[in-house]
Structure 1
Amino acid sequence: MKNENPPPNFNMRNVAVWGLIIAMFLVMITVTQGNFNSVPEENELNFSQFSQQVQHGNIASAKIDQDARIVTGERSDGSDYVANIPFFDDKAGDLLATTDIPYEYAEKKEQSVLVGLLMSVLPLLLIVGIFFLFFRSMQGGGRGGAMSFGKSKAKMLTENTQKKTFEDVAGVESAKEDLNEVVEFLRDPSRFTRLGARIPTGALLVGPPGTGKTLLARAVAGEAEVPFFTISGSDFVEMFVGVGASRVREMFADARKHAPCIIFIDEIDAVGRHRGVGTSGGHEEREQTLNQLLVEMDGFDGQEGVIIIAATNRPDVLDKALLRPGRFDRQIEVPYPDISGREKILEVHMKGKPISADLDVKYIARGTPGFSGADLANLVNEAALLSARRNKLKITMREFEDARDKVMMGAERRTLAMSDEEKQMTAYHEAGHAIVGLNMPGSLPIHKATIIPRGRALGMVQYLPERDQISQSRQEMIASMAMAMGGRAAEEIKFGYDKVTSGASSDIEHVTKIATAMVTEYGLSDAIGPIAYKDNDQGSFVPGIGRGSAISPETAKLIETEIKRFVTEAHEKALDILKKKKKDWKTLAEALLEYETLSGDEIKVLLSDGIKPKRPDGGKTKPAVSAVPTTKKPKGLGGAAEA
């Protein structure tokens, strides 16, 4: 994200410093080359060779140039020579003085004052320039350097930078209504202040990951057309104590200069956890940062026009001082969207994409309960990728169906080598789930049954509630457990007790969780009564352990007995249904072996009228979209998991 307020002319200063250093270096080379001429390559002698030539009488004349440190002249044979001489003393003159060879000294050149000054000052200037550049890089020009620990890392977006509005946010209407008050205050503060009202200093967005908390904060800034400072909670904390507090001070100082504006702190739980736990240095730094944040927020008088918006998915770990009136005194829930919200979110992400005319957005929304805004954006993107791979010009319902299956259950593993016995086992297992589900009151509608491996499952049956379920009845829970045990019951009846596989492991786990919740949380066991035995720390009841003195061994044993009773009754109910509906069960299993995937409508027609599906190639082409919407299958339900 681009920083819209960089230090002024910082890049130009860097270029200027580097240019000065390079210029000094070039001048030094030029001056050096001017004083010490290069020696010609032809007839060139070093001083040792020159001494030998003198001793052997091969030198006829010599002229010593002490400035250039060379000797020139003629040899006895009339050829010219050039010899380099050392920088130490006048060795060439001393050598020639012991012989009869005529020699002379070249006239010394007067060195200009400027050259002399440059030669003496240039090295010093070069050292100073390098040191200055190094120091500036350490400081980072005031931003992000190695020495700028206390500088704020908040990035500022102006109203014209990647602007977002409430039109770009869908599915969280209640949160938008709460934040609209903040927008109105930023647009016209006098409307509130003339009546003595004070806008909340901070708003805390609370919700699961991917529900659009960051997007909501940006939309508030876009609607109000004010600068938007964004920073993560982890950006405050460093290994050095006091750095985070310094960053908080600078961030608020910058915000006041740009008021009215919004400061958005993402994942504030990284710095706003409960104080007073732990003694490490890192903890001390976090506490100092939190203390400074509390002081800065409490210092507002309501007239500065700076509003703090923070986001977290763990409000329970935040310090109470953050949530008191005057700081984050307004908590705004950003939950998973309902069916109408999912429909609006899908429409937002489908804008600008070539969508087929027969695509039903409401149908897709019904088939994605529990999806967050990020999940839905990923679903649309996966559908577009599938259409591109299939060389289609538009995104059709088929791509959305396949994309939804891929997002929820993983990609198909058609290359997985399965024996005929394993395929038969999987077909009867999944048919068992479907038949039990179709014959249990309170069960969910079936959308699809398949024996194509996906993820870790060798096959699965998908169900869908007819509406977004907020709560479940006892009848629905019992039906869900019976449906889940249908796979294990099918294996026992068809293949015998000794041939039962590990494919029902996730189903058994799912049933056990439901039974445990019914007994320990929902008060649906007659033997236990409406008493909650849920472990507040672990989140579930642990048989035999309980919560210290809050539960006796006798009660723990009774709870275990009731959990086992619920699971056993579900298993027996599944066995009873499959034995009574053995013909339907066998018909469905054989159809799954033939077609691999059957939609909910195809299963109903097959079992009621005995009519097999009609496919374009007469084989295993995927069925058309069922009239019964699809759903995100509960964990462990209907999946023949890999061993």
Structure 2
Amino acid sequence: MKAMKPPKKPLLFYYGIILVVILLLNSFIFPVIFQKQVKEVDYGTFLTMVEKGDVQKVEIEDHYILFNSAAGNNKDSYYRTGVVDDPKLVDRLHEADVQFTKVIPRENSPFLNFILTWILPLLIFIAIGQWFAKKMQNKMMGGGNTLSFGKSKAKVYVEAKIGVTFADVAGQDEAKEALQEIVDFLHNPKKYKEIGAKIPKGALLVGPPGTGKTLLAKAVAGESKVPFFSISGSEFVEMFVGMGAARVRDLFKQAQEKAPCIVFIDEIDAIGKSRNSGMAGGNDEREQTLNQLLTEMDGFDADKGVVILAASNRPETLDKALLRPGRFDRRVPVELPDLAGREAILQVHARQVKLETDVDFNLIARATSGASGADLANIINEGALRAVRFGRDRVTQNDLEESVETVIAGYQRKNAVISMKDKLTISYHEVGHALVAAKQSHSAPVHKITIIPRTSGALGYTMQVDERETVLMSKEQALDKITTFMGGRAAEEVIFNTVTSGASNDIEQATKIARAMVTRYGMTEEFDMMALETVNNAYLGGDSSLIVSAETAAKIDDVVLKIIKTCHQKAIHILEENKDILHELTKYLIEKETLSGEEFMQILEGQ
């Protein structure tokens, strides 16, 4: 794709610079030079010089007399004196054989004076006003003149500029398979027409941010070798009513002219929200744009080879008319990748990176459960940056593992000053997490324990990595997770008989799991399989809202508290039974600041 060039300065900008330079020269430089060449003298000196024959030429003005010297080295010197009522001046100049003349000032006509003093300044101010008005118009209308208000802002990429194929997309095999049919239709439309099949007019890509929806759309265009129109939903909406609808019409007109082609609308929820949502009356501009989009999608023939792709993180907010068959009649989920998908994505992004031969992508993939494709690309890049920072020419396994921690918890705060008392508390806290996890049968193995503070605010953390991918969580696993979160606070209580603020994030995570067990997973006897809350914006954090009465909500809080208290007591019991190994592990951790999972298990097993 073409690199963006910096915008050129307007011509008036350079005119202004030239004008300022001229004014400065005229105010400070020219007067100094002129004053050096013309010397002021009194009238008596002038007469004396005339009598001596030192004056060569005289120019008599209304208010002063200008003359130059004829003596030796002063031929290029000019003098000026005031005008005195001297009737004999002409005779003196004749007698001295001096050339002289009377300079008569040129008088402009009244009409010319009127033009220069009134008409010309007025024209200059009108021109400046027109220029400012045009600049403001360009800013409000996104560039162009009045005739281009309704022009589409879509970026058009031809085949050579796309450069993306399905080989560049990993971890989304199901989505690629669903879109492969569109590619095949654009290549071989005849076999579909012979059997009477019609290609879907539009496909909606839905999924969390960073999963590769835009990349998939470009890959479809790259595989099909057709032009690719790309535009964001927000670019249709302007402050002037009707502009969005005009741009939709222009976009589809351009697409039909370049058919076969692909039109990609990113973040379509900006214009495609349901029309019965929000305040009465709604947003007229957005609704007109949506209505025009619906009309255009009904009005063109998909057999011509115009395919509409769109992406959204909030499909539940889209208007039902937009999702009916005949418009966006194919929905392609682009979900977070699984273990195999994450490993494949890491390998794709590592193609251009020099790696050591012992790099294990499977371990990195297992440590990044829930990461999107964009997150994994960032991890590879952070690993490469770390290798350069330490003066290496290849990325090591340690670089990638550290980049995972950087993305999760931030950079190391190497200059942080922590007192020995707080360091001891942090060490017992983190070992408490690890020891409780190791003593339970449904917990993931401990991969790393560290007390090195991070820029995210974490003073230390314990990393657990599952040996295999899990898609379901049992009640026992949920309870063990909560108990592991309680392990840090439990260690503080067992060893120091006090509590600190270091467990704030643990409390938040444990409460979230316990509440989900009650309200969403149906894992309690009190509420059995009753639905107690709904999840909104599943792809954007999954905010939930209760759908119960206030009385039931109070009962939910009681059940959640009961689960947390039970797990808390279980964590304390585990640590009380293993207090000796808790002291030993903490001693090692304080000395080394970081323990690997292997070192942790060796100490735990007495090796």
* Common topology (TM > 0.5): yes
1:47 aligns with 2:62: yes
Deviations 1:160-206 (A, max 9, x none): 11411111111101111111111111112222112211111111110
Which residue number corresponds to residue 371 of structure 2?
371
Does residue 56 of the first structure (1) align with residue 56 of the second (2)?
Answer: no
Aligned: 1:520 with 2:519: yes
Q: Distance in 2 between matches of 1:139 and 1:526?
A: 66
Q: 1:79 to 1:606 in 2, by over 3 A?
A: farther
Deviation at 1:465, TM superposition (A): 1.9
> Conserved in 1, the CA contact under 8 Å of 2:275 and 2:282?
no
Q: Does 1:270 align with 2:285?
A: no
Cα offset, 1:294, TM superposition:
0.8
Q: 3-state DSSP class of the match of 1:492?
A: helix
Aligned to 2:434: 434
Residue 561 of structure 1, CA deviation: 2.1
CA distance in 1, matches of 2:88, 2:349: 94
Shift of 1:82: 5.8
Distance 1:291 1:605, change over 3 A: same
Of the candidates 596, 600, 606, which is equivalent to residue 599 of structure 1? Answer: 596
Matched, 1:476 2:477: yes
* CA shift for structure 1 position 568: 0.5
Tell me, what secondary structure is at the counterpart of 2:463? strand
Structure 1 198/493 Cα, relative in aligned 2: closer, same or farther at 3 Å?
Answer: same
Aligned equivalent of 2:198: 198
- Give the Cα separation in 2 of the matches to 1:174 and 1:571: 42
Question: For the Cα contact (< 8 Å) 1:427–1:593, is it kept in 2?
Answer: yes
Q: 1:436 to 1:292 in 2, by over 3 A?
A: same
1:160 aligned to 2:160? yes
Aligned to 2:112: none
Query: In the TM superposition, what is the alpha-carbon distance from 1:508 to its structure 2 partner?
Result: 1.2
Q: 1:599 to 1:57 in 2, by over 3 A?
A: same
User: What do the CA deviations read for 1:67-119 (whole angstroms, capped 9, x no partner)?
Assistant: xxxxxxx77643335665433389xxxxxxxxxxxxxxxxxxxxxxxxxxxxx
Instruction: Return 5+ residue gaps in structure 2 as ranges.
Output: 19-36, 39-56, 66-80, 110-119
1:351 and 2:381 matched: no
**Aligned letter for 1:301?**
D
**Relative to structure 1, is the Cα distance of residues 322 and 535 closer, same or farther in structure 2, using a 3 angstrom cutoff?**
closer
Measured in 2, the distance between the counterparts of 1:279 and 1:464 equals 47
Contact 1:444/1:465 (8 A) holds in 2:
yes
CA contact (8 A) 2:271 2:289 kept: yes
1:337-416, aligned counterparts within 5 Å?
337-416=337-416
Residues 160-559 of structure 1: matches in 2 within 5 Å? 160-278=160-278, 283-454=283-454, 455-496=456-497, 499-535=498-534, 547=547, 550-551=548-549, 553=551, 555-559=552-556
**Separation of aligned partners in 1, 2:354 and 2:260:** 40
Which segment is superposed worse, 508-517 or 483-492?
508-517
> Residue type of the partner of 2:549?
I
Residue number in structure 1 paired with 2:51: none
**Following the alignment from structure 2 to structure 1, what is the Cα–Cα distance between the partners of residues 90 and 433?**
115
The whole-number CA distance in structure 2 between the counterparts of 1:429 and 1:54 is 104
Aligned to 1:637: none
Letter in 2 for 1:47: D
**Residue aligned with 1:330, SS:** strand
- Tell me the alpha carbon deviations over residues 397-416 of structure 1, each in whole angstroms, 9 at most, x when there is no partner: 11111111111110111211
Aligned to 2:558: 561
- What one-letter code is carried by the residue in structure 2 that aligns with 1:530? M
Distance in 2 (alpha carbons) for counterparts of 1:507 and 1:378: 26
One-letter amino acid of the structure 2 residue matched with residue 86 of structure 1: P
Give the Cα separation in 1 of the matches to 2:484 and 2:324: 48
In structure 2, give the amino acid aligned to 1:225. Answer: K
Q: Is the 8 A contact 1:144 1:151 kept in 2?
A: no
CA shift, 1:311, in A, is: 0.6
- 1:570 corresponds, among 559, 567, 572, to 567
CA distance in 1, matches of 2:403, 2:573: 37
Aligned match of 1:579: 576
Tell me the CA shift for residue 211 of structure 1.
0.6
| Structure 2 residue aligned with 1:70 | none
Cα shift at 1:152 = 1.1
Q: Deviations over 1:432-467 (max 9, x none)?
A: 111110111211111001111112111111112222
Q: Is the 8 A contact 2:211 2:334 kept in 1?
A: yes
Verify: 1:78 aligned to 2:97, yes or no.
yes
Q: Distance in 2 between matches of 1:162 and 1:43?
A: 79
Q: Is the Cα–Cα contact under 8 Å of residues 387 and 399 in structure 2 kept in the other structure?
A: yes
- After superposing the two structures, state which structure 1 stretch, 204-213 or 350-359, moved more: 350-359
Q: CA RMSD for the aligned pairs?
A: 3.5
Query: What are the residue-to-residue correspondences of 1:14-29 with 2, within 5 Å?
Result: none
CA distance in structure 1 between the partners assigned to 2:134 and 2:553 by the alignment: 68
8 A contact 1:338–1:468 mirrored in 2: yes
Q: 1:524 to 1:78 in 2, by over 3 A?
A: same
The percent identity for this pair of structures is: 47
Aligned-residue offset at 1:124: 14
C-alpha distance in 1, partners of 2:229/2:543? 41
Cα distance in 2 between the residues matched to 1:363 and 1:373:
16
**For residues 527 and 278 of structure 1, what CA distance do their matches in structure 2 show?**
37
SS of the aligned residue for 1:457 comes to coil
Comparing both structures, which one devotes a greater share of its residues to helix?
A: 2
Letter in 1 for 2:326: G
Compute the TM-score of the two structures, normalised by the length of structure 1: 0.76
Distance 1:356 1:552 in 2: 59
Identify if the C-alpha distance between structure 1 residues 143 and 407 changes in structure 2 by more than 3 Å, giving closer, same or farther.
closer
Q: CA deviation at 1:363?
A: 2.2
Deviation at 1:60, TM superposition (A): 3.7
Task: Report matched runs for 1:132-143 at 5 Å.
Answer: none
Structure 2: distance between partners of 1:45 and 1:583:
115
Structure 1: unaligned runs, 5 residues or longer: 5-10, 23-39, 62-73, 91-121, 611-643
TM-score normalised by length of structure 2? 0.80
Q: State the alpha-carbon separation in 1 of the partners of residues 544 and 184 from structure 2.
A: 48
Shift of 1:53: 4.9
Is 378-387 or 514-523 further displaced after alignment? 514-523
Instruction: Pick closer, same or farther for the CA change 1:81–1:380 going to 2, 3 Å.
Output: farther
User: Matched residues in 1 for 2:142 and 2:202: separation?
Assistant: 27
8 A contact 2:450–2:462 mirrored in 1: yes
Distance 2:142 2:123 in 1: 27
